[in-house]
Amino acid sequence: MIRIGKIVATHGLQGAVIMTHIVGDSKWLNKNTALFVEMQKGSFIPYFTQQVKANNNEEYHLNFEDINTIEAAKRLVGRQVYADEKLLGSYAKQSPLLWIGFEIIDSILGNIGKIEDIMLTANQWLATTTINDTEVLIPLIDQTINEIDINKKIIKVTLPEGLLDVYLRSEQ
């Protein structure tokens, strides 16, 4: 599963919710799709969409099966939402924000760590990970990315020589 967004508010009195998402396109979600809401750390509950309305490329109004009251909808507010990799298809390769939680594997250094966050600078996407208790920024550009495996949640890269030397030296 890939984290795709968060339920940020209720909408109306019939149990609808507003979900913000990071997919970057509003055409990927349809009626009768299973979304997984993280109710507790590591505990994902499937909810099936009954009605889907895209407000824009960042937000949906959703009605879920069996969520018919504002009280039931309020329990979902603030929760992270995940989707099956197959649902996202090509969107996952196009949107680096969906790569949070993926392992970064360098062709020379091996496993560098999990992507903890993604940020966009003026010219490129940067992944943050932690090496020796220090936050490290890894460029996610075409020149460094060799392969993205959505199912295994792995990004294979070839980082510029010396990029991580400072962080890896403190390991010795």
Beta strands in the chain (DSSP E): 2-11, 16-21, 34-40, 43-56, 59-64, 80-83, 103-106, 110-114, 117-120, 125-131, 134-140, 145-149, 154-157
pLDDT above 60 (res 110): yes
Kindly report the average pLDDT of the chain as a whole number: 86
Q: For the residues 74-87, what does the mean pLDDT come to?
A: 89
pLDDT at 96 over 90: no
More confidently predicted of 98 and 112: 112
For 85, the token pair is 């990799």
Say whether 70 sits in a helix, a strand or coil. helix
Name the CATH architecture for the domain at 96-161: Roll (2.30)
- Model confidence band, residue 90 (pLDDT cutoffs 50, 70, 90): low
> What is the Cα–Cα distance from 130 to 156, expressed in whole angstroms?
17
Rounded mean pLDDT of 151-165?
85
What local confidence, expressed as pLDDT, does residue 168 receive? Answer: 63
- The pTM score is 0.66
Determine which of 13-17, 65-69, 138-142 has the lowest per-residue pLDDT on average. Answer: 138-142
Q: Are 100 and 116 in contact (CB under 8 A)?
A: yes
Domains of the chain by residue range = 2-90, 96-161
- What's domain 2-90's architecture? Beta Barrel (2.40)
pLDDT band at residue 36 using 50, 70 and 90 as cut-offs: very high
Is pLDDT at 70 greater than 90 in this prediction? yes
Tokens describing residue 6 = 């968060």
Compute the average pLDDT of residues 133-159: 88
